[in-house]
């Protein structure tokens, strides 16, 4: 789970007892991510933290991704912006506590804003709106055990897949987490397979028209997560 700004590993005994909330230290986070460092260098490599706390793992993943994006595309403002948004789109999290979700979103936005300040001199309104919207979709108030929203509605957790298809364009498809985790819905079928056997591909609950990455917030404002 995420790391509290005070560097304490617990917020309160009550939260530990009720939710099992224990924050992971920065040293442990970096040691674990070092094991998959190559993947953290890819802007489009997706990560999901199912008990994200206030975002410790996600923040470090995004920080590493953005450093790689800057090293490769920092000389082109347009390319950097597209790849940096792609990096944000690749980081997902779930937490059962609303304050953790809000803080994780804020921390991720701040990491992006710091990188944008260094490369672009700041975050434009269009860029800020896009990143804020993606974080609303990607960091969700929910219960990873029940696969449902934690807002009391009983709705399934729904994540958006953002596929960058070139020319600054993005294809969005929404999937329930339940469908994504059912990698063996029928015996003998696998979600990912390189053995030549039939693969299971989950069906999206909704697809959206292709849009420019700066216009992502224009095609789904009615589906913001709490």
Instruction: Tally Cβ neighbours within 10 Å of residue 56.
Output: 22
Residue 198 has pLDDT above 90, yes or no: no
Q: How far apart are CA 122 and CA 114, in angstroms?
A: 8
Beta carbons of 59 and 108 less than 8 angstroms apart? yes
Q: What's the whole-number mean pLDDT along residues 48-70?
A: 95
Taking every pair of Cα atoms in the chain, the longest distance, rounded to a whole number of angstroms, is 53
192 has a pLDDT exceeding 70? no
**Counting beta carbons within 10 angstroms of the beta carbon of residue 195, is it exposed (0 to 12), middle (13 to 18) or buried (19 or more)?**
exposed
Crossing angle for the helix pair 125-138 and 98-120, nearest 10 degrees? 150
Tell which residue, 159, 123, 115, has the closest CA to residue 141: 159
* Cα separation of the two ends of the chain: 20
pLDDT at 196 over 90: no
Q: What is the pTM of this model?
A: 0.81
| Tokens 């299971």, located at residue | 200
- Decide if pLDDT at 22 tops 70: no
pLDDT digits (tens, 9 = 90+) for 155-183: 999 999 999 999 999 999 999 999 888 75
Confidence of residue 36 (pLDDT cuts 50, 70, 90): confident
Nearest to 112 by CA among 200, 37, 43: 43
Burial of 21 (0-12, 13-18, 19+ CB in 10 A): buried
**Which of helix, strand or coil describes residue 163?**
strand
Q: How many residues can be counted in the chain?
A: 226
pLDDT at 126: 96
The label of the residue with tokens 């589906």 reads 223
The 10s digit of each residue's pLDDT in 114-133 is 999 999 999 999 999 999 99
As to burial, measured by CB atoms within 10 angstroms (0-12 exposed, 13-18 middle, 19+ buried), residue 54 is buried
Residue 152's pLDDT band, with cuts at 50, 70 and 90, is confident
Q: Is pLDDT at 185 greater than 50 in this prediction?
A: no
pLDDT recorded at residue 63: 96
The pLDDT value given to residue 18: 46
7 token code pair? 């560097």
């Amino acid at each position: 789970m995420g790391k509290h700004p005070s560097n304490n590993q617990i917020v309160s005994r009550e939260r530990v007892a009720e939710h099992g909330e224990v924050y992971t230290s920065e040293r442990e986070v970096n040691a674990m991510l070092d094991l998959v460092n190559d993947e953290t260098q890819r802007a489009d490599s997706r990560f999901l933290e199912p008990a994200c706390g206030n975002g410790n793992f996600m923040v470090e993943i995004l920080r590493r991704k953005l450093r790689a994006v800057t090293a490769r595309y920092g000389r082109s403002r347009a390319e950097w912006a597209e790849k940096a948004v792609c990096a944000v789109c690749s980081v997902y999290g779930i937490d059962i506590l609303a304050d953790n979700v809000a803080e994780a979103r804020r921390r991720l936005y701040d990491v992006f804003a710091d990188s944008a300040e260094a490369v672009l001199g700041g975050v434009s309104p269009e860029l800020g709106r896009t990143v804020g919207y993606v974080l609303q979709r990607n960091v969700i108030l929910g219960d990873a055990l029940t696969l449902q929203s934690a807002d009391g509605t009983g709705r399934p957790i729904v994540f958006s897949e953002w596929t960058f298809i070139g020319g600054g364009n993005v294809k969005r498809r929404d999937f329930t987490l339940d469908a994504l985790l059912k990698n063996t819905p029928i015996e003998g079928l696998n979600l990912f397979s390189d053995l030549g056997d039939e693969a299971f591909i989950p069906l999206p609950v909704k697809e959206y028209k292709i849009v420019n990455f700066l216009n992502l917030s224009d095609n789904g404002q009615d589906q913001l997560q709490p």
